[in-house]
Amino acid sequence: MPIKFLNVMKKESQTIFENSSIEFVTVAAEYCVFIENARDYTTASFVDKTLKILPLLYLKALLLPKFDRINDDQLEVCVTETQYEQIRQSIAKVMADKDDYLDVFVEDMVYSDQPIGKNISEDLADIYQDIRDFIYVFQLGLNETMNDSLCVCQENFEAYWGQKLVNTLRALHEVKYNQKSNEDDINGELDENEMDIDDSDSFDFE
């Protein structure tokens, strides 16, 4: 095996196990578990927890070291269209009439001077799909594909789901603080299921 390739592998192996990489994987896994169990939450508790984990997910993605692809092979995916739709519908049911919002930071705004109608449930499901596919490949435990999955996830964060995340945060902030008719409901006390981001509760990737 060429020495140059071995050096690249050594570098990438070190990068995928840096603290910043492991912290991102941990929060990404927590996000997936949370979204998969959205049906267990009330609207108020779901909004509260989403407002906590999305900024953390964004921060951990922002702090990732730069990754470069090792292979050009297409990475495996695990989220099917049916699973995506189940996730989206479960979130939409929890959000109910608070699911819709108007967004000005979308590509379609190039062709319109009016805000575009969007759904919190669709945004969160889109983010989930990308993150869950990444987690699936990463937990296989092969250094090359772990590196490439982080690289693809990082590229998608920069070009796609990072912007979607911050747009959704604005919508969720509006739901929590600015819908006066629902203020008592949304600003209620957090229930006993409040999420605590803790390494001990994350997925086992071994």
**Taking a C-beta distance cutoff of 8 angstroms, is the pair 167, 102 a contact?**
no
pLDDT tens for 85-137 read 999 999 999 999 999 998 765 555 445 566 688 999 999 999 999 999 999 99
Q: Residue 139 contacts by C-beta under 8 Å, 6 or more apart in sequence?
A: 203, 205
Number of helices followed by number of strands (H, E) in the chain: 8, 2
pLDDT tens for 7-48 read 444 455 578 999 999 999 999 999 999 999 999 999 999 999
Match 């989930």 to its residue by tokens: 128
Q: Which of 126, 129, 123, 121 is nearest to 95 (CA)?
A: 121
| φ/ψ (deg, to 5) at 14 | -65, -40
What single letter denotes the amino acid at residue 8? V
pLDDT at 3 over 60: no
∠ Cα 133 142 153 (to 5°): 35
Question: Please, what are the domains in the chain?
Answer: 3-187 (1.20.120.1550)
Burial class (CB in 10 A: 0-12, 13-18, 19+), 203: middle
pLDDT tens for 176-194 read 998 654 545 545 544 444 5
User: Sign of dihedral through CA atoms 6, 153, 205, 132?
Assistant: negative
DSSP state of 141: -
Helix, strand, or coil (residue 51): helix
H helices of 63-161, in order, are 81-95, 120-138, 143-156
